[in-house]
Amino acid sequence: MPILFGAQVFLNPFFVLPFVFLPVINMVIASGFIFLHMIPPIVYPVPNGTPGILIPFIGTGGD
């Protein structure tokens, strides 16, 4: 029974865009910005559970 409901979501080509292609596009854009020195790379490890808005601040050392 779970396969009947899960296959409709898993095999739907409409979900390829948000779950496969968009993360790849986001990584290419971010690496381009890092390469052009528009944003600093994260150089420090960030603890799990850190709020999302604090991750860049902590990871770059406040830069």
11-35 residue pLDDT tens: 777 877 887 889 999 999 999 999 9
Total structural domains within the chain = 1
- Please check whether residue 4 lies inside any domain of the structure: no
- Please check whether residue 2 lies inside any domain of the structure: no
- Please check whether residue 10 lies inside any domain of the structure: no
Task: Count Cβ neighbours within 10 Å for each residue of 4-35 and write b for 16 or more, e otherwise.
Answer: eeeeeeeeeeeeeeeeeeeeeeeeeeeeeeee
What's residue 34's pLDDT? 93
Say what the pTM is: 0.64
- Please check whether residue 3 lies inside any domain of the structure: no
Q: Which of 7, 15, 21, 49 is nearest to 29 (CA)?
A: 21
**At residue 1, does pLDDT exceed 70?**
no
